[in-house]
Amino acid sequence: MTGPGAHKVAEQIKFIAAEMLSRRIQDPRLGFVTITDVRLSKDWQAAEIFYTVFGDEKAHRGSAEALEAAKGQVRSAVARGVKMKFTPTISFIPDGLPETSEEFEALLDAVKKSDAEISAHAAEAQYAGEADPYRHDDEDSGD
């Protein structure tokens, strides 16, 4: 997707899809779904709609099935709401952002723990030689 026009169309599709899912699609399998992003192909013939689902694995599967069943309705709503020569095909893709953010949180926790251990060791550390091994001009030299 390139250009401000494509971004504007993607935002319109995102709004229409979210509106459809919250108000018009009455599938009991559809859980708490959030539309996170829409990406258009370069020729604007395909729209990938990224979503997240709040809940367990059963909610994820049920919502994926409900979204697949509602693709036609969402595409029809996009055709009515976005003035384009051709309506893009719609595909729903689960967004990996929540899982990725959980992995990042785990990595950050590991780094914080490591930093705390290094700080503890540094507090107990002693110099191998003198604290300041460099000669200073203000010192009296015995020469």
- For position 141, what pLDDT does the model report? 56
Which residues touch 47 (CB under 8 Å, ≥6 apart)? 10, 13, 38, 39, 40, 41, 78, 88, 89, 90, 91
Task: Give the phi and the psi of residue 127 in degrees, each rounded to 5.
Answer: -70, 145
Q: Please, which pLDDT band fits residue 48 given cuts at 50, 70 and 90?
A: very high
State residue 52's pLDDT score.
Answer: 87
Residues for the chain: how many in total?
143
Quick check: 1 pLDDT over 60?
no
**For 30-56, what is the mean pLDDT?**
88
pLDDT band at 16 (very low <50, low <70, confident <90, very high): very high
pLDDT at 133 over 80: no
Q: Which two tokens stand for residue 112?
A: 């914080």
Of 74-78, 84-88, 111-115, 125-129, give the lowest mean pLDDT range: 125-129
Across all residues in the chain, what is the average pLDDT?
84
Q: Is the entire prediction scored with pTM above 0.85?
A: no
What gap in Å lies between CA 81 and CA 95, rounded to an integer? Answer: 24
What does the DSSP 8-state code read for residue 55?
S
83 pLDDT more than 70: yes
